[in-house]
Amino acid sequence: MANIKFYMTPGSCSTGIHILLEELELIFEVYPINLMAGDQFKPEYLAINPRGSVPALVCPDEAVLTTYQSIACWLADAYPKHRLMPDTDEEQARVMGVMNYAINKLHGEGFTRIFTTERYSIDESEKDAVLAQGRKIIERGFAKVDELLAEGRAYVLDQFSIADSALFYVEFWADHTGIPLPEHCRLHYERMLKRPAVRQVLMEEGYARLLSRYA
């Protein structure tokens, strides 16, 4: 059987998928994509992922998945013994809701304004306003997630799920951009940093210094 092929960029949203792959203890081939160098727009990568984004996953049957949600859900379905997706409809809805909120709201509307400000500003005079808007979206978004986490579960549910890996990568970005996390999001982030798979991924992706802060 062919190996799983994983296209990723260290420190990007693909870090969350990297965590899931390590949590499952899978064998996979890693293909780093240098976004700053424009690797995502090279013909050989666009032939794999026409979206020109990361992550991308080539499954053992050669099917190609090119969104975070599709990869995470495929991993949960393909390896059900690890229970990355809960059994009940109510808990599945909770997992999908948090994952989609982290990806679409916190990442898609908030952090994109921080990391790719030029997409939203016509000229330099608008840059500060775009950054402020992005930060406001992020802070309000985390405040909503914090209310859910305040219910006292260990993770988004009582057990680690695909939602936690998505929430982690935006918490990780908040940490690196100096945006304070509200109490329960911060506790979730610190709990995630104690997981062996998370620590392994951060070491592999070049963030050993971060781990030393949360030893």
Residue-wise pLDDT for 136-161, tens only, equals 999 999 999 999 999 999 999 999 99
The reported pLDDT for the residue numbered 182 is 98
What region does 86 belong to: left with phi over 0, alpha with psi -120 to 50, or beta? beta
Q: Provide the token pair at 161.
A: 């799920």
Domains of the chain, residue spans: 4-82, 89-205
Locate 67 and state its tokens: 């969104």
* pLDDT level of residue 1 (50, 70, 90 thresholds): very low
Alpha-carbon span 171 to 187, nearest angstrom: 10
92-121: burial string, b at 16+ Cβ within 10 Å, e else: eebbbebbebbbebbbeebbbbbeebeeee
pTM value is 0.96
- The pLDDT tens digits for 50-62 are 999 999 999 999 9
Of 2 and 61, more confident:
61
What is the structure's pLDDT at 141? 98
Under CATH, what is the fold of the domain 4-82?
Glutaredoxin (3.40.30)
Comparing 4-82 with 89-205, is the CATH topology the same?
no
With contact defined as beta carbons under 8 Å apart, do 70 and 28 qualify? no
The fold for domain 89-205 equals Glutathione S-transferase Yfyf (Class Pi); Chain A, domain 2 (1.20.1050)
Whether the Cβ atoms of residue 42 and residue 48 lie closer than 8 Å to each other: no
